[in-house]
Structure 1
Amino acid sequence: MKYLVRDKIFALGDDYWIEDEQGRQAFLVDGKALRLRDTLELKDPSGRVLITLRKKLLSLRDTMTVERGDTPLATIRRKRLSLLRNHYRVTLAEGTELDVSGRILDREFVVEYEGELLAHISKKWFRVRETYAVDVVREDADTALMIAVAVCVIRMAERERGGDDD
């Protein structure tokens, strides 16, 4: 299923809706202003927090954590050696690793597990400027996690490029 994201400059305090293919509000990305560290919450339409994304304070490389409730779900960090494309590694709490690769800043990348496609993020499906889709390919994939990973790696890539120096 595809989810439509209207891209913004990700700044603390920005809130925006992610819609499903029928144009219904599916998720709210709620940027938390006035926090010590960069924090985003992914909420359902009723306002219930599904996932919290936080920038790790003390880390050699830019790292964000993903939590469901008070339980750590994953850690996302850029791979050290990636020459031509952006590569990020998502390490789930139980040790499983997901690979995120492609042109992150161009909004053209994939999320894979052991070479199997879980989600495809792309602008090419839309003619509207600054809009991209998160296509969750596998039915058994955690949709909220796939959207959180997409939002997170884009935020990290923007910050690395110098667009957000929290």
Structure 2
Amino acid sequence: MFVIRERFFAIGDDFDVLDEHGNKVYRVDGKVLSVRNKVVIEDVNGDEVASVHRQIIALRATYEIQIGGEKAAEVRKKLFTPFRDKFTIDVPGPDDLTMKGDLLDHEYVIELGGDEVAAVSKRWLTIRDTYAVQVAAGINPLLIIGSVLALDLALERSERSSDE
């Protein structure tokens, strides 16, 4: 279990990632000058372990996740999914994941071959954005955390464009 919590008074999309005991395991630095299109995940020593960035040239919103400097996945929103958000987490090889959820409740599941491997809940009761993330054994938590951050970037981007 992880909690991804937006930092109070932060410039950009900065989050802390806590384990089930409340210990900080990662720091997420939303690069201010990247127009919210890139976040860097750092370990407790400040070393980059992963990043998420929006691919500029893509037909639909696409975010690339890199873990340890290597491309780990692309997260793409499905085009036609009324009343539900649905994203593909395209990993190298045949084992792509699907992230789907409810627009209103901000509850998401991530599936591999139809089996749930992670659950994401965005808590409404806090002032800051907070996600509770449950990850199944055998699944790289950085892949799931990166996917949640890509989801957050995509939803924030779509909210900004609908406000304009």
Deviations 1:13-45 (A, max 9, x none): 332211111110011111123348821111111
8 Å Cα contact 1:104-1:153 kept in structure 2: no
Partner of 2:155: 157
- After TM superposition, list the pairs within 5 Å mapping 1:26-41 onto structure 2: 26-35=25-34, 38-41=37-40
Partner of 1:131: 130
SS at structure 2 position matched to 1:27: strand
Opposite residue 39 of structure 1, the aligned amino acid is K
CA distance in structure 2 between the aligned counterparts of 1:25 and 1:143, rounded to whole angstroms: 14
Unpaired runs of at least 5, structure 2? none
Please, what TM-score do these two structures have when normalized by structure 1? Answer: 0.83
Partner of 2:144: 146
8 Å Cα contact 1:27-1:44 kept in structure 2: yes
Give the CA deviation at 1:128. Answer: 4.3
State the aligned residue count: 161
Opposite residue 154 of structure 1, the aligned amino acid is D
8 Å Cα contact 2:37-2:153 kept in structure 1: no
Tell me how large the CA RMSD over aligned residues is. Answer: 2.7
Unpaired runs of at least 5, structure 1? none
Deviations 1:57-114 (A, max 9, x none): 1111111111123321111110112112100001002242100001256431011101
Partner of 1:111: 110
Pair 45,112 (structure 1): closer, same or farther in 2 beyond 3 Å:
same
Give the CA deviation at 1:5. Answer: 2.1
Partner of 1:3: 2
Partner of 1:45: 44
Please, what TM-score do these two structures have when normalized by structure 2? Answer: 0.84
Q: In the alignment, is residue 83 of structure 1 matched against residue 82 of structure 2?
A: yes
Opposite residue 77 of structure 1, the aligned amino acid is R
